[in-house]
């Protein structure tokens, strides 16, 4: 393939210290880690990625890093790799130079995966130890050399304090795909996120932080594509640096930077949901797209008994070997890139327990967590763990060290159970209102360690929690077997949508009470995008493959009753300073006192009363006092502490925000939360 126009490496300028394709002004340095390779070929393509123009052996290798500097290679150059080495699946080695491989450090991609049997390193239909020699390049996306220059116009990290943080979990496409006020060409893209309509909406709610489902380039799994479905959520990472191309209206990474800059100017942080625990290549029967062909035995955990097989703690087929120093470096480089080059404000780590797995199992002081804690760049951004995986000992809620915060599914479950009127839920509810100290009040962790939520992308939406008793996942094509059955939901009299005004009113009343519980609790509240307008997924609690109206937010619903209530609750939380950095205790300030409807402190017999569904939390600090009254039972009369109080929040009222003086006692209707100040 080489010809007279083939570029030649400058052997005096190559660098092994920076991985990926780095444009240096007059040319580009290429570097790839593969400890077990015997030869690495750099493949250059035309601008479409359709024609391979040249193959050049990377001329140097140090410490497993293959590298070389090519003069004249500028931004826009499309490229990939072919890696030579032993084909010995029984030893964990699956090198196959017939397969074009994506650079793990590629910043931008050209093209997409076109599923074909040639993408597999073995012959489909035969043993996985066979060797498929067909060229996979026609079916592969390629990397693109980029110019990192961008005018950030004094943009900087916002660093909203955790006690003032309100998170809004959203999907880049689903958030704006159906929004009538977002320009049509921008709907479903990064540009749509930063549109005037979306920023105005987030401002009206009072959201401080936008948490995005995966935006790293990901694969639409073959089995889904063949069923006419898609990997909508994006938890199937192909590249840890390049954004998912379909989310780019312009096709260029500048769009991500422009979006972050505009959101920052509006005071809104951007947090990314990231997947460093596995990749889209699956187990040994999966395709060879990148890591498997570059160095399978280094990048993935393999079975210690039989390295031919993957070691899976994620339920996806493979597990990234973060304990390997160069794989750890890959993850750290990716995180720093998104902070330093793309200006994001933090990360939510999918299946974070996998990242802490060492030889003896999960280690809260594992190499990954310690690397982040000491990193001067990463230790200062928002870090949120999904504190579980599917492996043994993987459920670790409360098991992480500062500065990590954690998704708290126990908050979701206990609050749902309480408002469903399950018996004996008062002790659990009090624990959640106080910030879950049993889980998080240790190791000098703050009261903001718990990320509280009622609904997230995985599971029922908030509206579906009060509209369905059972999951309805038939659209996923798995005969409703997928998705969990522990929904703690209650349809309040009809399964799904109904025209019954009494049921509709009861559902809205419960939603408002549940949202009040969320916003009046210690910890960090997270809202699922669309819950503020009553978005329903028609009872689908596992809509990972539904890239359609099931998942896209239908803004025509309006949802004024919920939206206004949520905005008022956020405003009350922020203005009163209810969220505290220190855990509430009965002895010191901030102090929490639990009150019975009779006005006295709760006794043990009260906590043991399985049918009691009404209590109050009195929070005191400095000169401030806030009283939160909660009633999931029948109408009640609540005796107030002495003095004049002002009723500020009443979820049973048409307008929940109020300012009414009260003293002595107050009527507390069924399914109601009230907040009072003094």
Distance of alpha carbon 665 from alpha carbon 23, whole angstroms: 71
Q: Considering the chain, what percentage of its residues have pLDDT values greater than 70?
A: 99
User: What is the pLDDT at residue 154?
Assistant: 85
pLDDT at 1: 40
| Coil, helix or strand at residue 50 | coil
Domain 591-677: which CATH number of 3.40.309.10, 2.40.110.10, 2.60.40.1180, 2.70.170.10: 2.60.40.1180
- In the chain, domain spans: 20-145, 591-677
Q: Would you say 652 and 669 are in contact if contact means Cβ atoms under 8 Å apart?
A: yes
Assess whether the region 20-145 and the region 591-677 belong to the same CATH fold. Answer: yes
Strand partners, 62: 65
- The 10 Å Cβ neighbour count of residue 637 is 11
Cβ contact 14:22 at 8 Å? no
What's the whole-number average pLDDT of the chain?
A: 95
Does residue 324 have a pLDDT over 90? Answer: yes
**Average pLDDT value for residue range 95-101:** 98
Tokens 């943009």 sit at which residue?
155
Confidence of residue 361 (pLDDT cuts 50, 70, 90): confident
- pLDDT (0 to 100) of residue 2: 41
386 in catalytic set: yes
Q: Which CATH code fits 20-145?
A: 2.60.40.10
What whole-number distance in Å separates Cα of residue 588 and Cα of residue 51?
Answer: 70
What is the structure's pLDDT at 659?
94
DSSP per-residue codes, 456-481: -SSS--HHHHTT-SS---GGGTSTT-
Catalytic residue among 386, 389, 409, 490: 386
Identified catalytic residue from 169, 255, 295, 350: 350
- CA dist., res. 73 & res. 677, Å (int): 65
pLDDT of res. 619:
96
Note the pLDDT of residue 559. 66
Judge contact between 433 and 520, C-beta under 8 A: yes
518 or 590, higher pLDDT: 518
* pLDDT tier at 4, thresholds 50, 70, 90: very low
* pLDDT above 90 for 560: no
Handedness of CA 483, 488, 489, 490 (dihedral sign): positive
Helix (H/G/I), strand (E/B), else coil: 364: coil
Kindly report, residue by residue over 391-410, the tens digit of the pLDDT.
888 899 999 999 999 999 99
Least confident of 301-315, 317-331, 333-347, 348-362: 348-362
* pLDDT bracket for residue 505 (50, 70, 90): very high
Whether 582 and 447 have beta carbons less than 8 Å apart is answered as yes
Place of tokens 């749902």: 416
CA dist 10 → 3, 58, 59, 116 (Å) = 17, 11, 9, 37
pLDDT at 113 over 90: yes
Q: Which pLDDT belongs to residue 330?
A: 98
Which phi-psi region, left, alpha or beta, contains residue 617 (left: φ > 0; alpha: ψ -120 to 50)? beta
The candidate with the shortest Cα–Cα distance to 454, out of 519, 401, 393, 392, is 519
Res 3: pLDDT? 44
- Whether residue 632 contacts residue 419, with contact meaning beta carbons closer than 8 Å, is answered with yes
Confidence of residue 157 (pLDDT cuts 50, 70, 90): confident
Q: What is the pLDDT averaged over residues 20-26?
A: 95
């Amino acid at each position: 393939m080489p010809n007279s126009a083939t570029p030649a490496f400058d052997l005096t300028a190559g660098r092994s210290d920076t991985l990926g394709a780095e444009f240096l002004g007059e040319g580009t340095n290429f570097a790839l880690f593969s400890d077990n390779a015997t030869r690495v070929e750099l493949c250059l393509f035309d601008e479409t990625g359709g024609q391979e123009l040249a193959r050049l052996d990377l001329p140097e290798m140090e410490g497993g890093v293959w590298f070389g500097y090519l003069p004249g290679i500028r931004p826009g150059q499309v490229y990939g790799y072919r890696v030579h080495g032993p084909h010995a699946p029984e030893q964990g080695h699956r090198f196959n130079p017939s397969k074009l491989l994506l650079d793990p450090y590629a910043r931008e991609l050209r093209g997409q995966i076109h599923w074909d049997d040639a993408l597999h390193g073995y012959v489909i239909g035969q043993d996985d130890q066979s060797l498929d020699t067909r060229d996979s390049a026609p079916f592969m996306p390629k990397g693109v050399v980029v110019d990192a220059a961008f005018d950030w116009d004094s943009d900087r990290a916002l660093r909203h304090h955790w006690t003032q943080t309100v998170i809004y979990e959203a999907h880049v496409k689903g958030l704006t795909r159906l929004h009538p006020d977002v320009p049509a060409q921008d709907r479903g893209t990064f540009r749509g996120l930063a549109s005037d309509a979306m920023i105005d909406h987030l401002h009206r709610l009072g959201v401080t932080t936008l948490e995005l489902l995966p935006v790293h380039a990901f694969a639409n799994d073959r089995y889904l594509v063949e069923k006419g479905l898609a990997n909508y959520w994006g938890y199937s990472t192909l590249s840890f640096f390049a954004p998912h191309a379909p989310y780019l209206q312009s096709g260029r990474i500048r769009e991500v930077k422009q979006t972050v800059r505009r959101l920052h100017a509006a005071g809104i942080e951007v947090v990314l949901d990231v997947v460093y625990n596995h990749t889209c290549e699956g187990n040994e029967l999966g395709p060879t797209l990148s890591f498997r062909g570059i160095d399978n035995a280094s990048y993935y955990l393999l079975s210690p008994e039989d390295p031919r097989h993957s070691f899976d703690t994620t339920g996806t087929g493979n597990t990234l070997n973060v304990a390997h120093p160069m794989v750890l470096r890959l993850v750290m480089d990716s995180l720093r890139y998104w902070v330093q080059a793309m200006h994001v404000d933090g990360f939510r780590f999918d299946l974070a327990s996998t990242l802490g797995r060492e030889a003896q199992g999960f280690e809260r002081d594992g190499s990954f967590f310690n690397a982040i804690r000491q990193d001067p760049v990463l230790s200062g951004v928002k870090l949120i763990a999904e504190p579980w995986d599917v492996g043994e000992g993987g459920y670790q809620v409360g098991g992480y060290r500062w500065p990590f915060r954690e998704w708290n599914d126990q908050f979701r479950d206990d609050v749902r159970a309480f408002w469903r009127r399950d018996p004996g839920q008062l002790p659990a509810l009090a624990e959640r209102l106080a910030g879950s100290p049993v889980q998080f009040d240790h190791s000098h962790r703050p009261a903001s360690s718990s990320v509280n939520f009622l609904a997230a992308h995985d599971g029922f939406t908030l509206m579906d929690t009060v509209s369905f008793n059972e999951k309805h996942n038939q659209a996923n094509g798995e005969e409703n077997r997928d998705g969990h059955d522990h929904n703690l939901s209650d349809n309040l009299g009809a399964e799904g949508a109904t025209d019954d005004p009494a049921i509709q009113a009861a559902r809205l009343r419960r939603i408002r009470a549940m949202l009040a519980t969320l916003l009046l609790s210690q910890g960090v509240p997270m809202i699922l995008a669309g819950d503020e307008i009553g978005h329903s997924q028609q009872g689908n609690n596992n809509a990972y493959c539904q890239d359609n109206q099931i998942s896209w937010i239908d803004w025509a619903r309006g949802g004024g009753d919920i939206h206004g209530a949520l905005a008022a609750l956020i405003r009350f939380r922020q203005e009163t300073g209810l969220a505290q950095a220190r855990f509430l205790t009965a002895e010191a300030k901030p102090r929490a006192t639990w009150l019975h409807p009779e006005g006295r402190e709760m006794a043990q017999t009260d906590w043991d009363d399985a049918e009691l569904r009404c209590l109050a939390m009195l929070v005191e600090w400095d000169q401030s006092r806030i009283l939160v009254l909660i009633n999931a039972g029948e109408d009640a009369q609540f005796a107030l502490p002495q003095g004049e109080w002002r009723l500020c929040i009443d979820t049973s009222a048409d307008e929940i925000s109020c300012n009414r003086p009260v003293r002595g006692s107050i009527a507390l209707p069924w399914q109601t939360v009230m907040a009072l100040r003094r």
